[in-house]
Structure 1
Amino acid sequence: MTSFPHPSTSESGPDEDPDRDDPNREEQAHAYCLRLLTARARTRAELEGRLTQRGYTEPVAQRVLDRLTEVGLVDDEDFAEQWVRSRHLYAGKGKRALADELRRKGVDAEVITTTLADIDAGAERDRAEQLVRDRLRRERLDDEPGSDLKVKRRLAGMLARRGYSQSMALDVVTVELASERERRRV
């Protein structure tokens, strides 16, 4: 009769979670997430990526993230609202740039659409006008032929890099440049 060795409890199969019975590993992951959240709010995807980089298994990461979500420390919708409000107000970002930033942070497309719906076209245009006005005040406006074209390109490029549509950027720059020239004549 052939005897087979009993399976060792230290060996784990390919489908088993080696960290399942190690509560210290989960607590370490939890503490790490809390440290990250102390610095700034983060999305679930960002935290999951950081845990993966640190070598935590997916089941451990999911349990920790579920726990943080349950107590309200991880909330992608709230994160998206705060991010959009802050980046639109302080960095002057347009809808397109904000959507790209949120996508890179792992926010769901539906949440992005809902969050960006709060920014109406009027508010976006007002912010673009303010950005152009602020930049024009520091701009040297020559009376040389073609100088307005250079200024328009530079300002439209600034708005485009911040996520504003080309048509809005050109319209805002044209109106604000004419207004600034009039202001300087007086």
Structure 2
Amino acid sequence: MDSERLEEARKIALKFLAGTARSAVEIERRLSRADFEPEYIEAVIEEAKSRGWVDDTAFAQAWVEDRADRKGYGKTRLAQEMRGKGLDKETISDALGEIAPEAETQRAKDVAQSRWDKIHRDGLDSATVYAEKQKLSQFLLRRGFSYPIVRQVIAEVTQNNEE
């Protein structure tokens, strides 16, 4: 293995890691795009893991905390994004296990309430209310909330506002 080539791969990986936390697969993809041979990629990833620069478990937990809180995403969307980051099913499952069902339901309710308040300002007729409920349901499903949670939250949010 050429030490200069290995050093070049290491520099690219460090620069890639400097901006934000990354998964091992993301580093692998980045180095592959830079045309590094598999042995260099593997060596750099192993070094990064041994030095604590890359930790997929910590990355997954941080990803869930950030995206769930800041973006208001549900478990389905978070799992999809983490699969895209190259995380394995066990790591994803462990990270999502940290989310309490009540917390996810409350987050969905907060997102739905905010959206419903924007829609429901002027008062709507029943046909429009039905259409807006459908739009809100689709929005929450795209955010990654499960159908049972969406159904429960839509009922609560729209009932509170129709009284």
Task: Work out which of the residue numbers 72, 75, 78 in structure 1 matches 2:55.
Answer: 75
Aligned to 1:124: 104
Amino acid at match of 2:104: E
Aligned to 2:159: 178
List, as ranges, runs of 4+ consecutive aligned residues in structure 1 with deviation greater than 3 Å: 140-143
Aligned to 2:130: 149
Deviations along 1:58-116, whole A, 9 cap, x unmatched?
00111111111101001000000000000000111111111111111111111111111
1:38 and 2:18 equivalent? Answer: yes
TM-score (norm 1): 0.84
Matches of 1:143 and 1:83, distance apart in 2: 38
Structure 1: which 5+ runs fail to align?
1-19
Distance 1:46 1:144, change over 3 A: same
Contact 1:129 1:176 in 2 (8 A): yes
Matches of 1:149 and 1:85, distance apart in 2: 33
Aligned to 1:109: 89
Matches of 1:133 and 1:35, distance apart in 2: 41
Q: For 1:139, what is the secondary structure of its paired residue?
A: helix
| CA RMSD of superposed structures (Å) | 1.1
Distance 1:143 1:106, change over 3 A: closer
Structure 2: which 5+ runs fail to align?
none
Distance 1:60 1:134, change over 3 A: same
Deviations along 1:95-144, whole A, 9 cap, x unmatched?
11111111111111111111111112101000000001111221135342
1:60-99 mapped onto 2 (5 Å cutoff):
60-99=40-79
The alignment covers a number of residue pairs equal to 162
Matches of 2:107 and 2:126, distance apart in 1: 29
Contact 1:152 1:174 in 2 (8 A): no
Return the structure number with greater relative CO, CA threshold 8 A, min gap 6.
Answer: 2
Larger radius of gyration: 1
Aligned to 1:10: none
Amino acid at match of 1:160: L
Once the two structures are TM-superposed, the CA of residue 28 in structure 1 deviates from its matched residue by 0.8
Task: Work out which of the residue numbers 39, 46, 62 in structure 2 matches 1:59.
Answer: 39
Matches of 2:18 and 2:90, distance apart in 1: 27
Matches of 2:7 and 2:59, distance apart in 1: 24
Contact 1:77 1:111 in 2 (8 A): yes
Contact 1:93 1:162 in 2 (8 A): yes
Amino acid at match of 2:11: A
